[in-house]
Structure 1
Amino acid sequence: MKKIVEWCVEQKITIISDECYINFSPDPEFTLRKFSKEIIVINSFSKTYAMTGWRVGYVICPTELNTVIGKFLDCYMSCPSSISDAAAVTAMKTKPLDDFVLQREIIHEWLKENDIAFEPSTGGIFIFPDFAKVMQEKNLATSIDLASYFLDKVDVATTPGSSFGEAYDTHLRISYCIDPEELKIALEKLSEAIKLDLNPL
């Protein structure tokens, strides 16, 4: 990563680093700006402080860009409400959300038990397993079909992998940023749906 940053700086390429999920990574203190103060970092209160919908975020950038970014926001984005501003100030005085280590372990174990291919998640709040085997068993053609199947049969919502490109049409994105016990219940429901015989004799 450091070498990439150094090369970009040498080539005068501006790096914009989206670090909205950094608090849910193995190293919450990490930022690309440790390699160069020329990097622009964008962040949000939506994830770290569970303030989804409050529309509050911030930018860390070289001083000379402050005025330029401010003018852009005034013209195109307006500004957060005073209520959102006050909530953000209060949030910064509180402890951020903890990383979802336990939930991550729970869903990893469930995927292994059900023989579903996946790359272990090391941070964030999502995992992106490959349900190709399940789709074949259920005779489902697309990830939209699979997501609809889980929603219709057991009321568990997932995001079709095709939303992220045709190459991922056998995947589902699953969020695990909920209470561990609720996550276990949701996964038990998915297990029921996977085991359900669609063509009983």
Structure 2
Amino acid sequence: MKPVRGDRYESPHQLKLCLTNYYISRGYPIRFKKCDSVRLVVVCVSDPEKFQCPSMVRASWMSTERSFQIKKVAEQHKCDLLSKFYIRKCRAISLIDGKLSDHYAKVWDYGHELMRSNPGSTIQRFVTVNPDNTTTFHRIYTCFVTTFLTLFVVFWAIPTLKQVKNRLKRAFIRKVGLHSRTVLDNLNILVFKTVLVADSSSS
């Protein structure tokens, strides 16, 4: 929403959020020169070494009511050329890499590919249903069960229990990325049982 002199907000935080969204959508880099519980001053900082852009917004609390009001707005920018370059750059990057929304549209395809390449894995996609009956991607849950099977197959033939523990711990931490002591203790029990089964089968 474009800042207009006289607009009132509930708090400085609400105004800060609105100004941030507005200037980012226009491609202008800004800096909060003053931002506290009493006042808020926003200035444009496109290229301060070459010229000083006069665009700024100043706001403070009203004396008659509990509202945070915009007292001064200087909307004229002298850095339009730089902002146009920034917009063109973003468009060029989107043409090369694709838009982020296009990647979200392929979440289901990603999930099917993971299930195909990792049989037995668990892939769950979660979406948020909007009031207009459209859906928005929320998160994806992935659990690879083949990692543990691969580890046990690789270390099945190691003779001593100490070597099994050390190598399996390192590989487990490197592949799964877990550093919990409880997980490693449970892993020791699994390794010990695995070695017992291997010894009994070999004898």
Structure with more contact order per residue of length (Cα contacts < 8 Å, sep ≥ 6) = 1
TM value normalised by structure 1: 0.24
Q: Which structure is larger by alpha-carbon Rg, 1 or 2?
A: 2
Task: Report the structure, 1 or 2, having the larger strand content.
Answer: 2
TM value normalised by structure 2: 0.24
